Structure 1
Amino acid sequence: MSLGDEHDGQTRTRLPEGNTGDPYATPRRPARGSRSLIAVVGVVALLIAAIALANRGSDTPTGGSDTTGGAGAPARSAAPTAASGVRPVTGKNGEIPTGYARDEQGAQSAGANYAVALVSADILKPDRRAEIVRTVFTDDKAAEMQSKLNEAYSKAFLDKLGLDEQGNAAPGMTYVSRTAPVGTKVTRYSADAATVEVWCTGVFGTAGVSSTNPVTNDWFTMTLALRWTGNDWKVDSFSQQEGPAPVNTDRTASDADAIAKAVQEFGGFTYAR
């Protein structure tokens, strides 16, 4: 899921949620006011349905040896997210970092940055979507994912989000979809394949005075099956489930203008393990 250099930040769009039994089940959410709850549930249901369609038939993330420990083996503990002194990437394709090291740290850095791209608002824009898919996915999966995402993000789907055919919000509105990885871990690894889980938080919705889909926050974990190809880590398949999520605070929500301004003024990061 290359981005233009004129954009300051990276944003995010909802991906499939669920659990082991049903990866696309509607997520449980904290109690909110009735009007806000209805709006949020409506957006979530639309986005989950779209990505469920896009991911239909995707392979379950596999590959490499199980680094979490099998029966009778000790579970692998998470490494601290401290600076290693190793450059995370050697370059960028637009705004998406590329050129990762062929090791576990490189796989985790790739997973984090690809998660940001795959759940960005740009994935809803046809031109940007094609660039993201070419950058993130393996060559043999790119065409398939392009077709599925085009089908998922149809004109009818975009209409329900209040966006035009190019994925743009109405005048005076700002569509927000931005994520920030909180941590990563490798569950399987070999020199040619890796499975990386990325724990994320983020915001999504439409900022604007008359918006019926207010911007809200979310916590989710994305699992990416990566393959070493073309001298870089690329995505073979991915899935998403909700949480782990902390207890929500009672902090007063910012108004729509403040949220829209923040998205425009605060840029994103290159994430590295």
Structure 2
Amino acid sequence: MSPDGPQDDELYGGTGQTRTRLPEGPDVYGGARRPGRSPSRSLVTVVGVVVLLIAAIAFANRGGDASGGSGSGGAKPEAAPTAPSGTKPVSSGFAHDEQGAQSAAANYAVRLGGADMFNADRRHDIVDELYTSAAAARLKAPMDDAYSTEFLGKLGLDADGNAPKGSTFVSRTVPVGTKTVQYKDDSAKVSVWYMGLLGISGTHSTNPVATSWQTWTFQLQWTDGDWKISSDSQKNGPTPVPGDDRASNSDDISKAIEEYGGFSYAR
């Protein structure tokens, strides 16, 4: 059992169980105000190989046709990682200290929570880069089984993880803060509290982009001059009380995703 308590389900080698909680009623765009969130309104309650994969399983189980156009014609700008300086942000080579471990954990959450994880080749590259060699070898096969063509189809994606023409697939993690649970010279345990975005934005999407709040805990090992993940786990929350913000329509969400590239350096 993890020292974090019985709510943590630690993963060693890509195994684990998935628990899915479906939302009540349809979740649609169109400017309706979001009701207060109760446990039954949570997007997912899940534990598995990769946090956003598991959230996606709940997303797929909601059913419905995720195809359809966004209603915006013409060429669309390509979303790209944000780099205000014009220089590619750091993705590896973090400092060999406690702050470096926290930075590594925050950025690894961003990488592992991105849409690239839904493409086999890019997923393998990410896993090889972020995990220890032993952990990567254990995880690849279970991940490939989980990201099957059938599973991607339930999400409304093709075999390469692409959304239907005219719609936008969104999968992002947005770190809010980090906490060192344990630190030693050659190992560290760091928790990342984050908000997740997951869904397909389009005027006919029945699974619009929704938010979830999770805590992702990484067991890190100092290997070959960098922090690498040897195991990880996740649990729900802490979840803030939702505000009274009006939900944006699908065009606004698609435009925001295209114009605001996700951060590849989080801390």
TM-score (structure 1 length as normaliser): 0.69
Report 1:1-273 matches (<5 A): 20-21=6-7, 23=9, 24-26=18-20, 34-36=25-27, 44=44, 51=50, 97-269=91-263, 270-272=265-267
Unaligned runs of 5+ residues in structure 2 are 10-17, 29-39, 55-86
Unaligned runs of 5+ residues in structure 1 are 1-18, 56-90
1:197 Cα shift?
0.1
Any idea what SS the aligned residue of 1:97 has?
Answer: coil
Q: What is the alpha-carbon distance in structure 2 between the residues aligned to residue 233 and residue 125 of structure 1?
A: 24
Q: What is the alpha-carbon distance in structure 2 between the residues aligned to residue 96 and residue 126 of structure 1?
A: 23
Note if contact 1:43-1:213 (Cα within 8 Å) is conserved in structure 2.
no
Matched residues, percent identical? 45
Structure 1 43/243 Cα, relative in aligned 2: closer, same or farther at 3 Å?
closer
| 1:35-74 CA-partner distances (Å, limit 9, x unpaired) | 119xx989848x867759x99xxxxxxxxxxxxxxxxxxx
Note if contact 1:100-1:107 (Cα within 8 Å) is conserved in structure 2.
yes
Q: What is the alpha-carbon distance in structure 2 between the residues aligned to residue 260 and residue 41 of structure 1?
A: 23
Any idea what SS the aligned residue of 2:254 has?
Answer: helix
Letter in 2 for 1:185: K
1:202 Cα shift?
2.5
Q: In the alignment, which residue of structure 1 is the partner of 2:14? A: none
Q: What is the alpha-carbon distance in structure 2 between the residues aligned to residue 110 and residue 225 of structure 1?
A: 11
RMSD: 2.9
Letter in 2 for 1:175: F
Structure 1 49/240 Cα, relative in aligned 2: closer, same or farther at 3 Å?
closer
Q: What is the alpha-carbon distance in structure 2 between the residues aligned to residue 227 and residue 260 of structure 1?
A: 38
Structure 1 166/43 Cα, relative in aligned 2: closer, same or farther at 3 Å?
farther
Q: In the alignment, which residue of structure 2 is the partner of 1:5? A: none
Letter in 2 for 1:119: G
TM-score (structure 2 length as normaliser): 0.71
Structure 1 28/194 Cα, relative in aligned 2: closer, same or farther at 3 Å?
farther
1:28 Cα shift?
8.8
- Paired residues, what number? 210
Any idea what SS the aligned residue of 1:170 has?
Answer: coil
